[in-house]
Amino acid sequence: MSSVGPSGGPSAVARGAEAVVGAIIEVVDRRYRRTGPFAKRGDRRTAYRRHEDRAAHATLGFSTRACAILAADASPEATLASLLALIAGVAGARRAAVVLPGDERVVAVAVGAGEDPGQATDLAAWLDAATDRPRSERATSPAARVVVVALQQGRTGIGSGVPPRPARIAIPLGDHEAPVVGLDLRSSRAAARAGERLPEILREQAAGFLLLSVRVADAARQRARDAAADVERSRFASTVAHELRTPLTGLGGYLDLLLADPSGDPAIRAEFLERSRRIVDSMTELVNDLLEVSRIEAGSIELTDGPVPLADVLAAVREQVEPVAAATDVSLQIHQPSRLRVANGDRRAIERIAVNLVGNAVKYAEPGGRVEVDVALDGPVVLLAVRDSGSGIAPEDQPRIFERFSRLDRHRATPGTGLGLPIARDLARLMGGEIGLASVPGTGSSFVLALPGPTRPDPGAVAAALERAVAAEDERLDGPHP
């Protein structure tokens, strides 16, 4: 990044970096005014003999280089990697990792070109285990998420290769809420000297720069999310306009025909009115789905939280979907579970999800096909599988199934808004659940709904149970068929 602005003067980034360096010098000056290198000229010594002098000198050098890193034109991940490499170099370490504070426990570690990433992740795992935390938190919290950030150039620290007598230390950079740095050193002697190389004021500055780089990264990610949301909103508005314009055009055409010939053939008038009624019904369904999407996005949807027997849910599904299956010659087999199969969530939302999954399977099944519904338990997780013998979904189309208004080309002739599955997935997630898909072209598909049971497992248990269920459905679809 150039340090010269368009008018020939310093750029805003360079001026900001200079301001930060100036502030750091002022802090160091106030702290070491009498004994440090910033004392009055008559008192200034020619050599840094005192510990405070060396600390001030090291801190100023570190802060100047850290400001240059922040002012460089690099990605947030590369900036964090460069700061970790700088800390490792100052401490005389081969590599540095850091535990970043926040809602999610994260350990970041840098790796350079040609370096073994396994050594970096080993240091990160060690630091996560070595960081001082309350016993209760250590017992209930999962392992930290490890983020490996890559250096754009240079090494991650001092030296290379595997040290003969490796040593690792963890150094807090402040109070219990500040970052904790883990260092990978070549020997216990180097580990003992690392504390001297990182005096207290330098640790405070390092903590500030690390947190600043994290905030910059968070801001960059938020900007990316906002930009993606703007694109999504624009696409959504365009799609809604298109979805409404098409039925309105048809409805207007039928009304024009009826008005042009008020005394026409009664049979034709009745047919036009029936078609107009079906268009109104489809528009009503679309508007209701749009309102549901709006409530979900705004967080204004109200869901209760309590035990819901799956037997009652599937009884409601049978009542609503069985007539449609009979009319289209589709065999609907619902294996009614016992009332002991209980999910935890909102009864209306669970019914809507189940009706959507079973209704879709029946709607897209070919005449003479079959749809099977089954309920199972995987520990504290309730699984509802909806299987069909349809044409299946191609692998490249499967990621689009849960996108709003997404309709496969061969399904466009079938009435629908394209919002049913996205709404079903959003409702499942609001209740701590998830929906997965297994499909084999030419064989069929299985949609699996995973919901917390009465004991309310953690999200990791729900995700693991769903993954096992989808894998089992994949094996069933790939197996022999009658």
Task: Locate the domains of the chain by residue range.
Answer: 12-223, 232-298, 306-478
The C-alpha angle 198, 199, 200, rounded to 5 degrees, equals 120
Across the chain, mean pLDDT equals 79
User: Residue 51 has what pLDDT?
Assistant: 59
CA angle 402, 407, 409 (to 5 degrees): 140
How far apart (Å, rounded) are the C-alpha atoms in residues 241 and 341?
Answer: 43
The predicted pLDDT at position 41 comes to: 46
Give residue 466's pLDDT. 92
Is it the case that residue 26 has pLDDT exceeding 70? no
pLDDT tens digit sequence for 158-211: 765 555 556 888 888 887 778 888 898 888 888 888 877 888 888 888 888 888
User: With 60 as the cut, is the pLDDT of residue 111 above it?
Assistant: yes
CB atoms within 10 A of CB 407: 14
pLDDT of residue 124: 87
Q: Side-chain half-sphere of 25: how many Cα atoms within 13 Å? A: 12
The DSSP element (H or E) to which 376 belongs, if any, is: strand 370-378
With a CB cutoff of 8 Å and minimum separation 6, the contacts of 329 are 367, 368
Mean pLDDT score, 393-421: 68
Interval 40-63: pLDDT, tens: 444 444 444 555 666 777 788 888
CATH number of 306-478: 3.30.565.10
User: Is 406 in a helix, a strand, or coil?
Assistant: coil
Residue where the block lists tokens 């055409």: 253
Class of domain 232-298: mainly alpha
Tell me the C-alpha to C-alpha distance, in Å, between residue 141 and each of 98, 106, 128, 129, 375. Answer: 18, 12, 11, 11, 31
pLDDT of res. 458: 76
The residue ranking higher by pLDDT, 333 or 405, is 333
| pTM given for the model | 0.53
DSSP assignment string, 290-354: HHHHHHHHHT------EEEEHHHHHHHHHHHHHHHHHHTT-EEEE-PPPTT-EEEE-HHHHHHHH
Instruction: Indicate the SS3 state at residue 114.
Output: coil
Residue-level pLDDT at 351 = 92
Non-local (6+) Cβ contacts of 92 within 8 A are 158, 185, 190, 193, 194, 197
